[in-house]
Chain A
Amino acid sequence: MNKDNIVSVKKIEDDYSVVLSYEVVWDIDKVTFVPNATDNADYQTVQAWAAIDGNTIAEAD
């Protein structure tokens, strides 16, 4: 996963508002569910994407 291909990111939470994963929409019409786990390489990519000015991780529905 490359941060350049990410269109949007949304949190997925449990009933106690704990973030379980992130729903990542790509520019090639794919969706990846990235776990909230720091040793997952895609988690690091999501955080790098979120650190770019103008990018925001949306709150859970």
Chain B
Amino acid sequence: MALTLHGTVSDNTVVLDRRSAKPLIINGDMQVAQRATSVTGITASGFHTVDRMNLAISSFGTWTQTQDTTVPTAKGFTKSLKMDCTTAETSPSAGDYLAFQAKIEAQDLQMLKYGTSSAEALTLKFYVRSPKTGTHIVHFYSPDGNRHISKAYTISSADTFQEVIINIPGDTGGTINNDNGLGFNIEWYFGAGSNSTSGTLATSWASYVNANVAVGQVNCADSTDNNFFITGIQLEVGEFDVDSIPPFQHESFKDNLERCQRYYQNQGNNFFGRTEGTTKFYFQVPFPVEMRTSPSITARGTGFKFSARYQGTDYLQDNPSISSAIGNEDGCWLGVTGSGLTNGVTIYGRGNRDKEGRFLALSAEL
């Protein structure tokens, strides 16, 4: 078997092009969608389906978002993130915007050496399918130094997957703190109002100016016929072109999921605790992956069953009501309302038998 190394050879030393062991963009192949695989009626920002891909939207139509199987041909991807316009926005107001966002933790970007003369360049590659030809914008925002840079790319053929490679220079004047906060917010625009298009595109790193973010961006929300897709996102340290960029790092589903779970998890299928009084359980739920910070804890709506082994019999309850919840990065402690209980009895339990029984949504997103 031949071993092919991707890099340069000099003085009998092989320098590999890739500087990070794991992809900087988590879930860039859109494989993991813990929250849902399809959501309709979207008008608000948030993580709706595919993990790590936030939708930023303000008064820019109504959409169905899907983890889709429409992908570029023979590139090794099986999933994409799709947006399907169901209510158009033909005349966006000044402050309106429509973009995907991928956020990277600051402590994972320290190798970029921002703020020094050795600041590293980056190369962003992705596959996008847009309903509109013309100018599209990718925007990098670095909040610790309030710095940004935007790059334009041109879609030459509508409704066709296109490979895009964007070079981003190192920011010698920037700052990225070594902490668990936001390091980069990378945004793919699909529509923008005049507040972010009325200036001059910030094609070099500069202090953030909203008017310079998305100059020239076409409106991908002007018809209910419009769909757009993205997949295969990779971010490499260094400057590459279409011939030299290393191939996409495909991770196993397990590795991909575990990296996503630092920011979001569905849990609650197994727990143990005790009763306190006659109307309340208290449960511990350990997390399989340490989260970025203490998560927000939400019961994932109705339709969930809850069963606990209690004094030798099953205690069953539909749609459990969480009355209190506290947690840290490693686990949480829940108060769940019940009835007819005996005080101080040890119990253990589970949600539904399948993974949908994980009735807790835990969010530590950036």
Contacts and interface: CB of A to CB of B under 8 A. Distances in A.
A39 to B, nearest CB: 5
B211 interface: no
A41 B299 contact: no
Interface in B268-322: 292-299, 301, 322
Contacts of A58: none
Given A30-B298, A40-B295, A35 B46 contact: no
Contacts of A33: 296-298, 322, 324-326
Contacts of A39: 180-181, 292-293
Contacts of A23: 324
A31 B293 contact: no
Nearest to A22: B296
Given A5-B44, A21-B325, A35 B296 contact: yes
Contacts of B297: 32-33
Contact of B44 (A2, A37, A40): A2
Contact of A42 (B299, B324, B325, B363): B363
A34 interface: yes
A40 B294 contact: yes
Given A31-B299, A40-B295, A2 B46 contact: yes
B365 interface: yes
Interface residues of A, number: 19
Contacts of A37: 293-294
Interface in B13-46: 44-46
B336 interface: no
Contacts of B365: 41
In this complex, the member of B44, B181, B293, B299 whose beta carbon has the largest number of chain A beta carbons within 10 angstroms is B293
A8 to B, nearest CB: 15
A1 interface: yes
A12 B327 CA distance: 12
B364 interface: yes
A35 B364 CA distance: 10
B88 interface: no
A42 B296 contact: yes
A20 interface: yes
B109 interface: no
A12 B328 CA distance: 15
A4 B299 CA distance: 20
Contacts of B301: 30
A35 B326 contact: yes
13 contacts: A2-B45, A12-B324, A30-B298, A30-B299, A31-B299, A32-B296, A32-B297, A33-B298, A33-B322, A35-B295, A39-B181, A41-B363, A42-B363
Given A4-B44, A35-B295, A41-B366, 6 more contacts: A1-B363, A21-B326, A35-B328, A40-B294, A40-B364, A41-B365
Closest 7 CB pairs of A and B: A35-B294, A33-B325, A32-B298, A42-B296, A33-B297, A37-B294, A39-B293
